[in-house]
Amino acid sequence: MGPGGAEVAQMQKKFEGELVALKKIQKDLTKTTTLRSQLDGQLNENKVVKEELDLLDMNAVVYKLIGPALIRQDLEEARQNVGKRIDYIQQEIKRHENGMEDLEKKADEKRDCISKLQQQMQQIMIKAQGSQ
Amino acid sequence: MFYDEDFYFRGEVMKKRSSSDTGGEKDGAGTKYSVQSLQNNLENLVQLQHEHRQRLELVEKEYNQLRKFKDDYLHLQKRLRTLPDKTSHEVMVPIGPLAFMPGRLIHTNEILVLLGDNWFAERSAKEAAEIVKRRVKDCNEKIETAENQMNLHKNWLEETSGLFEEDKDQVEIIEELTEEEFERSKEEHRKKLAEDYEKRKSSDQESRTEEETPEAGASTSQENFIEKLDEDDKKAYENLMKRLDQLEMEEDDESGGSQDADDYDRYIRHSETAEEIYSADDGAEHATGTEDTELSASGTPVLYKRNKRRVSWADDTRPLFTIIPDDNSESTYRIKYTTKQLSLPLIEWDPASARDTPEENIDQTDSSSAVIQSPSELYKTFGERRRSSLPDPPPRGILKKTHSSTAEASSSLCSSLIPTRMMKADRVFQTRWLMMLALLYL
């Protein structure tokens, strides 16, 4: 039972290591998901702002809230800024989505590893019991 | 995403249900069916119901919030209508959450509207009312989607709650199937489809010869055509037809074999394209000009790939249908092109050659433009012409240099960029027309 016991302990350590890694990956995944949904909300908001800005006529006055101050902005500049922000947010969303894909793949791989390790451990247990 | 998770969950539920046999039967093919009453193992369903209820609560919360927003916006609209009635309103101004004090509301027509993301716009009361109207519209749409989701959840919950009350009459049938059996059943299905297709084809052919439709004409011409071909061509043709049949059967397999008319039309068109391949090879002329190109474009690309057709300019004596009609009708826009206007620096300007043979080159190209046989000759002839016609500008950079001050540099730079880009497009346009006209002379 001696050498069998050492093997089992080793396997258990590996198993726990893989579990910890999987948990970490899942945490990252949820973080990325929340970030992405937040970005989605921002994107929608900025789209609404863009529509409204487009409807304003040339003489309209636009302000931006920077900290506690309302600072006057040029209409064209405001439109461009909002457009650029929309593009930036879209890029960020794409980046996050790619990250999510990678994380999901990694998570799947880890799960496979874990299940294999589980099977191996079971086999060792059976062998150990059989040899007893 | 919302519903994908649900359905995935449900799929898991189906897989997890372990069978407790209350009666196993075998059918002819040897697969095992087990019939069970539904009452067993409904815990997973309970869990699913729990999930649905939670989602329903979320959606209801959202729905209530949206209703509140809409009410607020409607109140706001009312207030905006009355606000500009007076230049200043006497009001009780709230100071903190518990105190008010009398005051005046001034600048009654100047309203700062938050557009979102820390952007504000100063608007009049009427314009602000327009903005509010749009927001109410958005709210209504969101309320509608929330309602739909709520109904979906509610209906699902109702249906599944009904399951718990049913008695032993409802049963679940699970068929146990191994990989081999699955493959076997797939093969049998394919074979049956093949037989079915053959039957359909033969019955169609019979009905075809009786009717006087253009399709009938195609079939008889098809038969004559087959006789005309010699041995090798016949074999290739039959291979083609077999491949087509195979592809069509695969399609039937996928789509469930319910597209008789479409298949039939495609079948005819395929046979016609096959005809065209072979007649092009023979060099025979076809009366149907544009139809050619359409059919061969719509005919399967598979055909072309399989035969690895070779296209050569010399053999093809079919007249190309010209893009520009030769008549002088007023309706068509025609762009006249003369070779003398060319100043394209596509090939590097060689001053030596330009000096030596300016005249000869020009004469040469005027005559050679009628003798161009292939696209590469274009470059040879017109390239030389370019060399000759370039005492003027050497190749220019894309950006023009401006001398204005930095304050206006951006706008002037933009405006200077645009003309150079357009001119560059002009040159590209010229080369394209050049090549098309050269092709015309073929």
Q: Which residues of B touch A62 (CB under 8 A)?
A: 119-122
- pLDDT over 50 at A82, yes or no: yes
Task: Give the per-residue pLDDT at A118.
Answer: 87
More confident residue, B319 or B150: B150
Three-state DSSP at B133 gives: helix
ipTM for this prediction = 0.81
pLDDT in tens, B287-310: 333 344 434 444 444 444 445 566
Q: What is the DSSP string of A37-97?
A: HHHHHHHHHHHHHHHHHHHS-TT-EEEEEETTEEEEE-HHHHHHHHHHHHHHHHHHHHHHH
pTM of the model: 0.47
A61-76 tens-digit pLDDT: 999 999 999 999 999 9
SS3 B122: strand
Q: Kindly list the residues from chain B whose CB atom is less than 8 angstroms away from the CB atom of residue A63.
A: 112, 119-122
Whether the CB-CB separation of B260 and B200 falls below 8 Å is answered with yes
Distance of alpha carbon A4 from alpha carbon A12, whole angstroms = 12
- Of chain B, the percentage scoring pLDDT greater than 90 comes to 24
Unique residue bearing structure tokens 């921002």: A42
What does the radius of gyration of chain B's CA atoms come to, in whole angstroms?
39
Q: Residue B57 and residue B65: Cα distance in Å, rounded?
A: 12
Determine whether the interchain pair A62/B117 forms a contact, defined as Cβ–Cβ distance below 8 Å: no
Phi, psi of B370 (to 5 degrees): -90, -10
Q: What percent of chain B has pLDDT over 70?
A: 45
Chain A residue with minimal CA distance to B110?
Answer: A61
Residues of A in Cβ contact (< 8 Å) with B118: 64-66
> B127 falls in which pLDDT band (50, 70, 90)?
very high
For B29, B33, B176, the CA distances from B185, given in Å and listed in that order, are 9, 16, 13
CA distances from B130 to B72, B81, B122, B135 (A): 15, 11, 13, 9
